[in-house]
A and B are shown apart, each in its own frame.
Chain A
């Protein structure tokens, strides 16, 4: 890989305006994605995954805003770019697939036109040329009979087909980074597996990096080379996917791994319960002092309640944010 990483996020802080003041919805968020790499961001609902993604594409809107830190894309800082420059990046060099695949297509526009619009918008193609490229794009996501399908409206397509169209749109301009925020939650399991396989293959062929966001550690670790685990607005652990299963270091990650059903485990056989992490995620306005995981952590000690842990480098590679990590 060449020198500069594709995406570097350093000490990113995201503010939430709650009327009476600002709270940090996320802080100290740092990670790096290389060209063509697959990177996962995992955490419970509300921990700040989607707002981090929105910050990357310059779409945080009031009451949320970037409170500090640096986002570097292809070596250039992009967090302060003008709206027009950010729009040039979006859909062109950084694409995103939505959490809600079922509603992300315009119901009154043929899908081919929606794909073609990307070539017109970002590549300055004529509509004639764009329509031709749209058929190719649809073929590349393995939609059968693409010449006919381009004329279909979204309601004529199944959920899986619609998500393929979304992928075709997202990858149309050959982006360097594809952000997939819970791309398959609305689909059934077999379709989900197909879609993820397709997305991974296409990105691998084209050297497109993936930032995959999900609450499902198992899914993300399957797709991605490295995984970051987020808890209450902070990244608490970042590891290679294999390592995170073999030897999770942060108590929260350990809980997540232990709660995953695994083939052949007693849980999968229906005996015994999945081990769950006791307690609830703290509210954004009410993050605990010190380590935010301390009310739910079995290993918490005095220092955990007062001092926020910094990030430690692990010998085996990776980062962890815990006073007493394994």
Chain B
């Protein structure tokens, strides 16, 4: 199998972001929160201060490195919650059909009708800012695509010979859904999950930008952008580096999603075997 450029580049960018997040204590030069020193306020990028410093003299490089933790935690965990909800609803709706399918469909349509960020905003407004609220708000509002795909896959897989054979062999409904249906729809679900992670990173940035995300002073890329907006002309490095971090991470996830689609898509799979 030929390695595709989008898979390699996307995978590397995402892997890099994860590594940075994991190794933050070793990569960072200073403590992202504590090491404020007004002597060093608003230094532009230099050999000492790679990404410059902010108006309190904190090292932007170190804050971007630590910010990866928040962005990726929110991206990965909230997307996992979305995937679990979407698969559970969509798979069971497609498999059982009937009234349950109608209920799930109505719910999905409702979710699709409301922009998920607005929905997340509303939830954040109720729960208040913070990491947990972010995870809940973003985890509950972006499962409709996953649900759609899982439902459509379950519908078409239900009539496959091996699903009927499993029924004949005495498999129960749950066992059929887990052993026969789920593994056969995993490809598209992984693709959607990867792309969804990218959009969750963006949503985290947006909510933090609006002041609803992780509480300052702990850095997240979105809150850093938010704090930097007053000084965008006087100290542009304050917004450029967190912005770049968001851009590269989301780009990486989107490329990775595309690359995975190429190799996991059931049609290209059947062409290979």
State the CA gap A100–B160 with chains docked (Å).
10
Interchain CB contact under 8 A, B162 and A169: no
The answer to the question of B273 belonging to the interface, with a C-beta cut-off of 8 Å to chain A, is: yes
A121-B171 CB under 8 A given contacts A106-B180, A108-B184: yes
Interchain CB contact under 8 A, A89 and B162: no
Name the CB-closest residue of A to B182.
A108
Map CB proximity to B onto A164-190 as digits: 1 under 8 Å, 0 otherwise: 001001100000000000000000000
Interchain CB contact under 8 A, A98 and B165: yes
Complex interface residues of chain B between 118 and 138 (CB less than 8 A to chain A): none
B20 to nearest A CB, angstroms?
34
Complex interface residues of chain A between 90 and 146 (CB less than 8 A to chain B): 90-92, 95-96, 98, 100, 102-109, 117-118, 121-122
The interface residues of chain B lying within 8 Å CB-to-CB of A57 are 168
Which applies to chain B's interface (DSSP): helix, strand, loop or mixed? Answer: helix
Complex interface residues of chain B between 146 and 200 (CB less than 8 A to chain A): 160-162, 164-172, 175, 179-180, 183-184, 186
The answer to the question of A149 belonging to the interface, with a C-beta cut-off of 8 Å to chain B, is: no
Cβ contact of A122, chosen from B162, B168, B170, B179, cutoff 8 A: B170
Interchain CB contact under 8 A, A96 and B168: yes
Map CB proximity to A onto B28-69 as digits: 1 under 8 Å, 0 otherwise: 000000000000000000000000000000000000000000
A108-B170 CB under 8 A given contacts A98-B165, A103-B160, A103-B162: no
The interface residues of chain A lying within 8 Å CB-to-CB of B179 are 106, 109, 117
Cβ contact of A91, chosen from B164, B170, B184, B186, cutoff 8 A: B170
State the CA gap A98–B164 with chains docked (Å).
9
Interchain CB contact under 8 A, B168 and A103: no
Interchain CB contact under 8 A, A92 and B170: yes
Interchain CB contact under 8 A, B169 and A90: yes
Cβ contact of B170, chosen from A90, A105, A107, A155, cutoff 8 A: A90
The answer to the question of A87 belonging to the interface, with a C-beta cut-off of 8 Å to chain B, is: yes
Interchain CB contact under 8 A, A106 and B184: yes
Name the CB-closest residue of A to B181.
A106
Cβ contact of A121, chosen from B164, B170, B184, B186, cutoff 8 A: B170
A109-B183 CB under 8 A given contacts A57-B168, A118-B169, A121-B171: yes
The interface residues of chain A lying within 8 Å CB-to-CB of B165 are 98, 104-105, 166
State the CA gap A109–B186 with chains docked (Å).
13
A88-B184 CB under 8 A given contacts A103-B161, A104-B162, A105-B162: no
The answer to the question of A284 belonging to the interface, with a C-beta cut-off of 8 Å to chain B, is: no
Interchain CB contact under 8 A, B169 and A88: no
Interchain CB contact under 8 A, A89 and B170: yes
Map CB proximity to A onto B193-232 as digits: 1 under 8 Å, 0 otherwise: 0000000000000000000000000000000000000000
Interchain CB contact under 8 A, B167 and A104: no
State the CA gap A292–B160 with chains docked (Å).
34
User: Which one of A96, A102, A108 has the greatest number of beta carbons of chain B within 10 Å?
Assistant: A108
State the CA gap A96–B167 with chains docked (Å).
10
The interface residues of chain A lying within 8 Å CB-to-CB of B180 are 106
A102 to nearest B CB, angstroms?
8
State the CA gap A100–B172 with chains docked (Å).
21
The answer to the question of A202 belonging to the interface, with a C-beta cut-off of 8 Å to chain B, is: no
Cβ contact of A155, chosen from B161, B167, B273, cutoff 8 A: B273
The answer to the question of A59 belonging to the interface, with a C-beta cut-off of 8 Å to chain B, is: yes
Name the CB-closest residue of B to A100.
B161
State the CA gap A166–B166 with chains docked (Å).
11
State the CA gap A182–B186 with chains docked (Å).
32
The interface residues of chain B lying within 8 Å CB-to-CB of A105 are 162, 165
State the CA gap A60–B33 with chains docked (Å).
67
B156 to nearest A CB, angstroms?
13
State the CA gap A96–B179 with chains docked (Å).
19
A104 to nearest B CB, angstroms?
4
A169-B169 CB under 8 A given contacts A103-B160, A104-B161, A106-B162: yes
A66 to nearest B CB, angstroms?
17
Q: A105-B165, A108-B183 are in contact. List 16 more A-B contacts (CB 8 A).
A: A57-B168, A59-B167, A88-B170, A90-B169, A91-B168, A91-B169, A92-B170, A95-B168, A98-B161, A98-B164, A98-B165, A103-B161, A106-B180, A106-B183, A121-B175, A155-B273
Interface residues of A (CB under 8 A from B): 57, 59, 87-92, 95-96, 98, 100, 102-109, 117-118, 121-122, 155, 166, 169-170
Q: List 30 A-B contacts (CB under 8 A).
A: A87-B170, A87-B171, A87-B172, A88-B170, A90-B167, A90-B170, A91-B168, A91-B170, A91-B171, A92-B170, A95-B168, A95-B169, A98-B161, A98-B164, A98-B165, A98-B168, A103-B160, A104-B162, A104-B164, A104-B165, A106-B162, A106-B179, A106-B180, A106-B183, A106-B184, A108-B186, A117-B179, A118-B169, A169-B169, A170-B169
The 10 A-B residue pairs whose C-beta atoms are closest, nearest first, are A103-B161, A91-B170, A91-B169, A90-B170, A104-B165, A106-B162, A108-B183, A100-B161, A104-B161, A96-B168
Interface residues of B (CB under 8 A from A): 160-162, 164-172, 175, 179-180, 183-184, 186, 273
